[in-house]
Copies of this chain bind each other. A is one copy, B any other.
């Protein structure tokens, strides 16, 4: 009797439609105006149904945060494997990270900013660990290749990630002027210093 299976499938479909509707709403009106009732309207169910699939609104957001990191990770790996030279790899990763942030502004805003996730949230996202690992391993390769034992890879990971995030978030709260040239230069400026510094 495939009844149970069909029910599970149908339940999954509703869950998927919730996420899809939520995503469309976010793209149209931003995170701030996303509401359970609007999602319910969009999927043509009543609001409480959503709580059969997600514990609360935050769980929906968390799901998107996870997806955001998954997609980011994909992009970073795709960028990395184009090169064998770790210096080129870290540069490609930086550009991919940058591109992801501005191509997926909604994701990026949710993943970081937006109400400062806080400790609890971070722990619920294993994808963040994979993300860190991608960069960490590349940095270690550079250090190994250049026989630089004095630099701490944890330190360099932190500097790399922080700087990138800082560049992006400062830029996002500015306006949409065509500061693209400046942005590109700032990114390059940082990368030159970072890579030369990491070589020891």
Contact = CB atoms under 8 A, between A and B. Distances in A.
A129 interface: no
Contacts of A193: 193-194, 197
A2 interface: no
Interface stretch (A67-75, A80-88, A184-192): A184-192
Among A115, A165, A173: residue with most chain B CB under 10 A: A173
A164 B162 CA distance: 8
A116 B117 CA distance: 13
Contacts of A158: 167, 170, 182, 186
A156 to B, nearest CB: 8
Contact of A155 (B156, B175, B185, B194): B185
A57 to B, nearest CB: 13
B162 A170 contact: yes
A48 interface: no
A169 interface: yes
Main SS of chain A's interface residues? Answer: helix
A122 interface: yes
A115 B115 contact: yes
B154 A165 contact: no
Nearest to A170: B162
A91 to B, nearest CB: 16
In this complex, the member of A113, A116, A119, A165 whose beta carbon has the largest number of chain B beta carbons within 10 angstroms is A116
Interface string A110-132: 00111111110010000000000
Nearest to A117: B173
A54 interface: no
A162 B186 contact: yes
B189 A159 contact: yes
A116 B116 contact: no
Contact of A165 (B32, B116, B166, B182): B166
Contacts of A192: 197
